[in-house]
Chains A and B, each alone.
Chain A
Amino acid sequence: MTGLGSARAENGKPVFGFGERLNRSLEYLRFKAKSYNAIYACETVSRVVSEQHKYRLYIEMFPKDWEQSTKSLYRAGYFKAYNERTNEFFQLINDNRFPLLEYWHDDPELELERFAIPPMNFDLCCEEVDFANLRDSYLAGLMFYFNEDEEIWNYFSEKYGVDKESLPTIKTAHANIWKEKHRSKEKPFSDLIRLVDHSTGNPWLDVTNCQYPEFFEWNKETVEGLTEAYKAANLYFKNLEHLDRRIEEDAQTFFSELISFWNTGKISSWR
């Protein structure tokens, strides 16, 4: 037993030992060595205020984890600009709310005062479209954007026996497909087209790797908003699973209804 770690009191709460007190002393001495430098003082105040915002969020969102945490409030963590406790908060967000520590957030030198989110949707702007790796329903949505591409039609023809000639002609998108509200029958098609078009209004689905990323601040509204948006984004992909099953059941009907929705904003019976 070195006394450098932390122990727990009878009530289960961590009791910080010599190690944490040593870390605190070192932190204070680092500060004292430069404490009459106004620029450094401003950096210190800024860092403390930033930490405080994150601690408050941590306590509000994960009160039990905060109470039980033995992570140091002074020693630097993986992201060196932050102590272990703040790093723990980032990890909790990543594990329980939404993906945070992916994308380009893997550099230990990084400052996470503002953060970007990784795109969940497929990029149409600069990626070469690899049809084989996409869900069939997503591909079906893409056919409106790649109507002249033979590859996509060959794929559907080979897999489902559906030919372009046997389907209604694809016209210009009807304005009604972008309506906010749709009947339950049309809603899955509307969601699919919005997903493919990157116009869902959901940041997880609308951002792409090709555009300058939107940066988010650490506050409760933003974190909760992104959490809800992440759940909603996953529902869009659930919708694709459902649509895939419909294609497998009756591809001809599915494509005809989808094209009908695109052309007219509603689903007409094609038989």
Chain B
Amino acid sequence: MQPDESPFEVLRAENEQINPAIILAERLMRREAAELLSVEEVNEAENILTIGTQEIEVIESHRKAFQKTPASAIDYIPTGF
């Protein structure tokens, strides 16, 4: 983080992606429940579940850290205020 960057700018600069579990869940819910997944598909689902859960945990820890950030005065009035 550069000294002149605000936390929001740091956040905005992060890569944006949809949690892969959302995409997989949509795919799984569209198929017939009785259709068995192959071993590879189950392994893939378990991997995605791990990645998706990790992503949620990372975001949650960032959010908590963000909430702890002390407030600081700015020298301009944001648009709309």
Contact = CB atoms under 8 A, between A and B. Distances in A.
Nearest to B22: A41
A48 to B, nearest CB: 5
A270 interface: no
B34 A45 contact: no
B45 A45 contact: yes
Greatest chain B CB density within 10 A among A45, A53, A56, A59 is at A45
Contacts of B33: 24, 51, 73-74, 83
A222 interface: no
Given A31-B29, A46-B49, A49-B42, A41 B37 contact: no
Given A24-B33, A51-B33, A73-B34, A44 B28 contact: yes
B24 interface: yes
Contacts, number: 69
Given A38-B55, A42-B53, A73-B33, A49 B25 contact: no
A218 to B, nearest CB: 13
A90 interface: no
Q: How large is the interface on B (under 10, 10 to 19, 20 to 34, 35 or more residues)?
A: 20 to 34
A144 interface: no
Greatest chain A CB density within 10 A among B21, B25, B36, B45 is at B25
B56 A48 contact: no
A199 B18 CA distance: 53
B68 to A, nearest CB: 22
Interface of B: 19, 21-22, 24-26, 28-30, 33-34, 36-37, 42, 45-46, 48-49, 52-53, 55-56
Interface of A: 24, 27-28, 31-32, 35-36, 38-42, 44-46, 48-49, 51-53, 55-56, 59, 73-74, 83
